[in-house]
Every structure is written in structure tokens, then in C-alpha cells.
Amino acid sequence: MLTVRRFYLGGSLLVLFVIGCSSELVEPAVESPSMAASGPKVNAPSSTTALAVSATSIEASWQDGSTNESGFEVHRSTGGASGTFALLVSTAAGTTVFSDAGLTASTEYCYKVRAFRLAGSKASYSAFSATACATTPAPPPPPPPPQLHVTAVTTGVDIDPDGYSVEVWKPSIGALTYIDGATVASNGTVTIELTRSEVLVLTPGPYQVGLSGGVAANCDLTSPNPQTLEVDSSATVLFEVTCLPVTQLALASIAESNAEIYLVNSNGTNRTRLTTNPASDTYPRWSPDGNTIAFTSDRDGNAEIYLMGADGSNPVRLTDIASEDARPAWSPDGARIAFTSDRDGNREIYLMNADGTSPTNLSNHAADDGDAAWSPDGNTIAFRSNRDGSSSIYVMSADGSAVTRLTADPWGAADSQPAWSPDGRSIAFTRWWCGEVGCKSDVLAMNRDGSGLGWLTLADGSSGETHGEPAWSPDGRKLAFASSFTGVTFIRVDGTGGGVGLGAGTTSISEGFNPAWR
């Protein structure tokens, strides 16, 4: 009997022929490119598929053709079905799916699989399955950034032609972060598109959107400002504004070398010079009927009180004494004028008839008193005095009795220039004080009894900015003041002025100081 034996040695096939008689069966061949494992061979997997799951992932699958494999080898080519394949991964027995992740978009990947069986340190392999290929798709485009559609609807008369400034903020830890800004027409819509970097960092979450400035003094918001909303892909914000007829302010200015009195519309237009005199004309105050302006001038040698028409015509001197008479304040009925005078050796508050007759010392105190302001009902006069040490705000009856101190700052700040709100509930005033960043002045407000004190403006003391000379608008919703940086400026005090993070909520009207609403 002829017996044939095959052996592999160093990768070479040796064939040994043995002649003899024997009843032993011939051992079956083991197919292997390298080491041979004893036992039955493993069958090749079949039905290989490749499915692109995403731009960076492909799922390869196959059908198991054996029951005795130790596992499977997945080989991959990035050069197509005829390209070079390399071992990608070895899996456990029975596995039929492998997810290939971290791939490059728009790239073809090909896969073939074979089974292997281990016996000790030796392995046998099946043939490879058929090749399956798949191409990863292009990455999806980034989602569009969220959009805010801000709409303004303005009704009334003398509508603001310049539109309004819009600011978008996002609440962060203990503060607000500015996102974007734009201008919306008085009756129009503006779209604010947030950039991708802002979206990635700041969304999801609430945004705060508000009209931060540019609303004319004769116009008022009738919708909440600012508004808080969630922004996903898009959102719409509506601001409603109502405008009243434009009113006027008188003010003083040194724009033309010396102090003169001007008239300007509350929206900043039609600035007109009323006085033309080489002297200093300041502190204009309207009569209750709006037809006459009282003011201070030194045109006759020293500061005196004068009257003139609303157009600057017919100036008439009311006081005539060798002293300083200044800062006139009309009584609500227009019959009397309070003013500050040092005719008795120190500054006092005097009262005279509207024609300048019967001047009377009203405060009659050895301290420095001044800055008289009438309550709307005509029963009380607010003023400043240093009779208790530092300059503070006091009130007294219209006859000079019942003097009561309203402010007493523990750090010695100087309070002056009181101004009553039209409803008589509040008094605004100027506080001059010094802190770590320097000295400055701000406008504050309080209830008529001195309670509820709060700041309305915050000047930048480090740069020398000052705020003062508060003057309420006739509707009580706004307060004009003099700023050393922006001139005559108004702030809304009814909660529609922009809020925290949306600027100071102020709008400049005109260069100048000593503002007074008509």
C-alpha cells in the first residue's frame, strides 16, 4: 500500500512516500498559508455587506459559515475593492457585525472577512468572503444659527423717524453677556442672527432682548422692556411704542462762548437760541402756562432774576439789588417765584410775586440754603441746606414753617438740586460724593418722606463724569439731567429704560445744562 504524507517545513511543502501494507486511513489535508492547526477546517463567512451609517461610521456584517471558528478577521481597504487590504480587527466567535467608527466623510471603504480557528499556538484560516464596499456620506451642513426677529410697532404722533437700538444679552453666572445689537425701524422688523460660536457656547437657554436707546423723549414703550425668551431655531420679539406730540425743553449752553439759553424739541431737533447777550444767561424755568421763562442773568452787573417770552422776546428784570439772586422756581399757580439770594449775607430762599414785588426771606437761617422746588400741590417747598452739617435735602411748608430733613448720608455726601415728580410722590436730587475711584455726582430719587432712596444714574467717577440738575418730564415717565459727557440727557424711570445689562437706558437730547421741560 502506498501512503502519502505531506508536511510543511519553513513554508515549503515536503512530500514523503511510504510503501508498505497498513489498514490506517489517510489523514485529510489542512489548508493554511502558515502554521497548521489540527482538527476540522473552518468554512469561510458569506453574504458580507457594508452599510454607511453616518459620515464617520460604517457597519460591516456577514453570515457565519462555521460552528467551530475561534473568531473572525475583518480586513479593510481604502483603495477600493482591488486595493490593498489590511487587518482591521479580530472578533470573537459567533460575531457577525462590526461597527467601524472614526471614518472620513465622502470616502469609500471596502471590507472582507475570514474565519480562523486556534489550536494551541497554531491557527487555520478560511478563505475570505466576498468584498463589500460602502462610501461614507458628506457631513450634514451645520444647523443655521438661531434668529431673532425683532419687530417694532409705533403709534401716535411725531413718530421717531430714526428707529430704535436693539441689544441681545444672555444671562450668565451673576451677570449678563452681550451677544449682538441692531437698529429696528419705528415700524419694521430686523433679524439678528447669532454666530455659530455664540450658539455653541451659549445655547440652549434664555436670551434677554431690549430696546436700549434711541427712543425719543416723546415716545414711550407700552410693552415690557427688556423681554426674556428661549431661542432655539428662531424667535420673534414685539415692542410696542406710543408717541405723544413733541414737547420742548429750555436749557443753558456755552456752545457759543458764553452761557445762553436755548430751546430744543424733546427729540433733539430744532435747537433755537433764545438769548443773545455777552453776559451769562442760565437756569431757565417755564411758567406753569408755558408762555414765560424765568432765568438768571448777570447782564446788569450781578446775578438777577429775569423774565422773557417763550420765544426769548421782551426780557424784564424782576430783582434789582446788589446781591446774587438766582435759580428761580415758579409756584404751581404761577403767582409766585421762589429763588436763592444772598442779600442778607448768606444764601437764603426768598419768595416774591411773579412781577418781582414783595420779596420775603422764607428760610431765614444762618446756614446756606438754596435750590427751591415747589411740590405740585403748592403746599411744600423742597430745598438744600447745610444747617445740620453736610448739604442735605429738606422740605418746608410754603410759608417757611415745618422744616424737615429728608437726607442724611453717613459718609458726608452733599445733596442738592431737588425736583418733584409731577404726581408729588417722589423727589429726585443730585448727590455729590467721593469713593475709591474719585469724586462724582449722580441723580437719585426718593419718596416724598425720604424713604425708598435709590440711584437713577451712575456716572463714571474714574473719568470725572458728573450727573445732576434733574428735571421731570410733564408725564413723569422720564427725567432729564445734565451730564458732563452727553449734555442734557433723559432716562426713563417707569421701568422701560433698558434694564440691567442693556446700557443705562439713557438718550441724549442736546449739548447743554440746566434742563427744564415745557
Lay out the sheet containing 260-265: strands in order across: 272-273, 260-265, 248-253, 513-517
Cβ-based burial of 142 (10 A; exposed 0-12, middle 13-18, buried ≥19): exposed
Residues 247-263: pLDDT tens digits?
A: 999 999 999 889 999 99
Lowest-confidence region among 284-298, 408-422, 486-500 = 486-500
Q: Is residue 174 pLDDT above 80, yes or no?
A: no
Q: Is residue 294 pLDDT above 60, yes or no?
A: yes
At residue 76's C-alpha, the angle toward residues 75 and 82, to 5°, is 105
CA distance 112 to 134: 12
Q: How confident is the model at residue 463 (pLDDT cuts 50, 70, 90)?
A: confident
Cell numbers representing residue 29 in the block = 489535508
Distance from the first to the final alpha carbon of the chain: 133
Name residue 189's amino acid.
Answer: T
Q: Which domains does the chain have, with CATH numbers?
A: 46-135 (2.60.40.10), 147-243 (2.60.40.10), 248-517 (2.120.10.30)
The neighbour count for residue 37, using CB atoms within 10 Å, is: 20
The SS3 assignment for 463 reads: helix
Q: What is the 3-state secondary structure (H, E, C) of 388-419?
A: CCCCEEEEEECCCCCCEECCCCCCCCEEEEEE
The SS3 assignment for 441 reads: strand
Mean pLDDT is highest, among 144-148, 386-390, 417-421, for 417-421
Q: Is residue 503 pLDDT above 80, yes or no?
A: no
Cell numbers representing residue 271 in the block = 435747537
DSSP codes, 356-379: S-S-EESS--SS-EEEEEE-TTSS
CB 225 within 8 A of CB 210: yes
Lowest-confidence region among 136-145, 205-214, 373-382 = 205-214
Q: Residues with Cβ < 8 Å from 375, sequence gap 6 or more? A: 332, 381, 382, 420, 424, 448
Q: How confident is the model at residue 218 (pLDDT cuts 50, 70, 90)?
A: confident
If you average pLDDT over every residue of the chain, what do you get?
87
pLDDT at position 412, please? 80
Mean pLDDT is highest, among 24-33, 120-129, 302-311, for 302-311
| Nearest to 375, CA basis, from 304, 449, 469, 441 | 449
pLDDT at position 32, please? 42
pLDDT at position 494, please? 67
CB 512 within 8 A of CB 488: yes
Higher pLDDT, 182 or 1: 182
